[in-house]
Amino acid sequence: MQNNTYDFGLVGLGVMGRNFILNVADNNYKAFGYDLDPDKVSSLIKEGGDISKVNASGDISTFVNALSLPRKIMLLVPAGKIVDAVIESLLPHLSANDIIIDGGNSFFTDTDRREAYLQSKGINFFGAGVSGGAEGARNGPSIMPGGSSKAYKEVQPIFEAVAAKFNGEPCVAYMGPKSAGNYVKMVHNGIEYGLMQLTAEFYDLLQKGGPLNNAELHEVYSEWNRGRLQSFLVEISAEIFEKEDPFGQGMLVDKILDKARQKGTGKWTSQNAMDIGIPIPTIDVSVSMREISALKQERMLAATRYDRGSINFPEKEKLITIAEKALYFAFILTYAQGMHQLKAASNEYGYELKLAGIAKIWRAGCIIRATLLEDIANAYEEDTGLTNLLLSPAFEEKIKNTAGAARELVTLAANNGIPMPGLFNSLSYFDAYTSARLPLNLIQAQRDYFGSHTYERTDREGIFHTDWS
């Protein structure tokens, strides 16, 4: 093997890494993988078929020497300490101006730290969010790179070739400086949590309220996926409802334990939204619901103590019609909150994010891809200064047409004891965001009462304090 002949290096040949590197090779870039696990190395070589196009090694110097200069090395390893360990192991073998790309779900401040550290050693480093799971990595993910635009330019042709395409446009774009790529991917995942929670709670509602069986749920979600709710998550939900249990016990979805796990990106989205002072209650409650789901034993005990009473719903077709509108409403509200967070974070961290561009690269390849993103991209293209989707005339119309259904469904769910916090929070967020006056004047009065925290007035400038007692 001749040294310095491979265009692209990839560290971490797990499912994502293997699929990504095969995708690179399919696009006529010679790729070289590295993993400490010899089985992963040999299975990639076998699957690649031609070592002049895809090769791999468990030896780090063989790997690094195989790559052309400046080296482009992407890491697809679990976020956290492993990323630092891989960087340390690569460093002695690298040359000035080589480029390391972290393609994992790293926390954005870790990316900033690593970029500064590697810069001091003459090495380029940037984070690139990659969405789409194993299938996306193999056939076209959505990619969200940030960091040095000069370093990104070196990798751009490869990323544009491997990314998903929407109407021929690659679903990859330079997000902005520093950790912009990881930040955008984090918020993508927050929105993902929101949409997943919503699709799950509407399933609960239809199952109990219809009542709809799995075959009917498959029909309804498939139908929704042919309309304005078209999205990857609605599409796969429809497929899930018709999957039989491999153990022959009916349908698989009914056999899956109702405890949802999480790797942390949704929680980070909420935590950071609170840090920068942007409300994203639909996403917050989606994280909380995963936490409530994990309390299975406690829930089972509590369920024996509290009776819900009788269930009372409108007839099936009517319920499905209201649900379609309410889900559309809540989907919009979820994207609106995530986009609002991105807008604020862009100012806070100097990311220079282009929201229309972000919505565009989410239209294919990623987990939150949806027809709605086309409208979102248009709204931000028409008004680049738009702070919240709710203020866009096109969305005002959509919201006005569906808010009534959301209210109706919230009432139904509350009366029947069906937990739909994603929908409830979306509606409350909408009602609060569109209230010229909120009762938080009382909170200000209370704060001043017990702690002399002062308040402002509606009718004159200044800071006031009252001796309340």
CB of 259 to ligand 6PG, least distance (A): 12
Give yes or no for residue 133 binding ligand 6PG (CB under 6 A): yes
Measured at CB, which residue is nearest to ligand 6PG? 131
Q: Given the complex with ligand 6PG, which of 56 and 370 has the nearer CB atom?
A: 370
Catalytic residue, candidates 30, 72, 178, 192? 192
Give yes or no for residue 265 binding ligand 6PG (CB under 6 A): yes
Among 189, 197, 207, 269, binds ligand 6PG (CB under 6 A): 189
Distance of CA 395 to the CA centre of its chain: 21
Contact call for residues 37 and 12 (beta carbons, < 8 A)? no
CB of 263 to ligand 6PG, least distance (A): 4
Closest by CA to 181, choosing from 204, 158, 201, 151, is 151
Q: Given the complex with ligand 6PG, which of 30 and 188 has the nearer CB atom?
A: 188
Among 367, 372, 412, 418, binds ligand 6PG (CB under 6 A): 367
Strands (E), 280-368: none
Closest by CA to 411, choosing from 343, 334, 314, is 314
Among 220, 366, 376, 386, binds ligand 6PG (CB under 6 A): 366
Give yes or no for residue 106 binding ligand 6PG (CB under 6 A): no
Among 35, 192, 201, 324, binds ligand 6PG (CB under 6 A): 192
The single-letter DSSP state of residue 300 is: H
Give yes or no for residue 132 binding ligand 6PG (CB under 6 A): yes
Classify residue 143 by burial, with Cβ atoms within 10 Å: 0-12, 13-18, 19+. buried
Catalytic residue, candidates 30, 178, 185, 343? 185
CA distance 54 to 60: 16
CA distance 58 to 60: 6
Strand order in the sheet with 31-34: 54-57, 31-34, 8-11, 72-75, 99-102, 124-131, 142-145
Closest by CA to 422, choosing from 193, 194, 187, 190, is 194
The three-point CA angle 294-329-237 to 5° equals 50
Neighbours of 302 (CB within 10 A): 10
Mark the segment that binds ligand 6PG (CB under 6 A) among 153-161, 234-242, 263-271, 307-315: 263-271
The answer to whether residue 192 is catalytic is yes
Mark the segment that binds ligand 6PG (CB under 6 A) among 77-85, 248-256, 258-266, 390-398: 258-266
The answer to whether residue 296 is catalytic is no
Give yes or no for residue 105 binding ligand 6PG (CB under 6 A): yes
Residue identified by tokens 């409802």 is: 241
Mark the segment that binds ligand 6PG (CB under 6 A) among 236-244, 262-270, 356-364, 451-459: 262-270
Give yes or no for residue 214 binding ligand 6PG (CB under 6 A): no
The three-class DSSP label of residue 145 is strand
Query: Which residues form the catalytic set?
Result: 185, 192
Q: Where do contacts with ligand 6PG occur on this chain (CB under 6 A)?
A: 105, 131-133, 189, 192, 261-263, 265-266, 366-367
